[in-house]
Amino acid sequence: MQPSKNLVKVLVAGAIALAGLSWAASALKSAPDDLNRLVDNKDYIDISTIPNMRVSLRYASENNFLGKNIYGDFHQCLLQRIAADKLRQAGLALERERPGWKFVIFDCLRPRSLQETLYTAVKGTPRQPYVADPRAGSLHNFGFAIDLSLEDETGRELDMGTLFDDFTALSRPDQELKNKEEGKLSAGQLEHRSILRKIMLKAGFIQLPIEWWHYDALPKEEVKAHYKIVE
């Protein structure tokens, strides 16, 4: 007896769903493996060893725009040594200027395989410009970019006007003046961003124009010419 067309459709749909779940589970399991290989690599630094840092990896939790953990059990924040040295200088400057304050670190090194996960989620939507195409790669994929904010001496995360991964015009440094004039960002929120920006730029980082939390340690062209992407 031949199965009915409806039954065939149900079986096919079930097989596709199971394949998707299998892929997701595999990606989640492999993410820590990809990163764990770099833990003992002398070219990468775990920035939790640097003073004035609190690591809170958002993609190792459900507190991100995907609403799911894509890093698995991996909770270390790794940066290329050059980037880590600059961040160390930024931490020292923060301690001098705002005693008791810390950087809150949202993301550091992110393998290209996980960049693909993020990009797939935003492709074809208004959020797409905020996530680098994995074919070209983000500087996160090289270990030369960091996402971060600030917390004060009481451990309270400062109000920056938007949350991490907001992906709207309010998160864009290049539109801050316009948003302030329109009453969408307060003077206090912009002051907090300015404190973060001043310290990071002085340490040699480059502000990404569309995300207040994103800083690159070197120019994109230099990184891509001289360093290897982490797959």
pLDDT of residue 8: 39
Return the CATH number of the domain spanning residue range 5-226. 3.30.1380.10
90 burial via Cβ count (<10 Å: 0-12, 13-18, 19+): buried
pLDDT in tens, 153-165: 999 999 999 999 9
pLDDT in tens, 26-81: 444 456 676 778 888 889 999 999 999 999 999 999 999 999 999 998 999 999 99
pLDDT in tens, 171-205: 999 999 999 999 999 999 999 999 999 999 999 99
Nearest by Cα to 61 from 119, 21, 7, 107? 107
Euclidean distance between CA atoms 205 and 108, whole angstroms: 14
Rounded to 5 degrees, φ, ψ at 147 are -110, 130
Is residue 21 pLDDT above 80, yes or no? no
Give me the half-sphere count of Cα atoms (radius 13 Å) on the Cβ side of residue 227.
26
Q: How many Cβ atoms from other residues are within 10 Å of residue 193's Cβ?
A: 24
Q: At which residue do the structure tokens 């939507």 appear?
A: 125
pLDDT in tens, 104-145: 999 999 999 999 999 999 999 999 999 999 999 999 999 999
Residue 86's alpha-carbon distances to 37, 78, 145, 229, in angstroms, are 23, 13, 11, 20
Nearest by Cα to 65 from 137, 126, 18, 108? 126
pTM, rounded to two decimals: 0.85
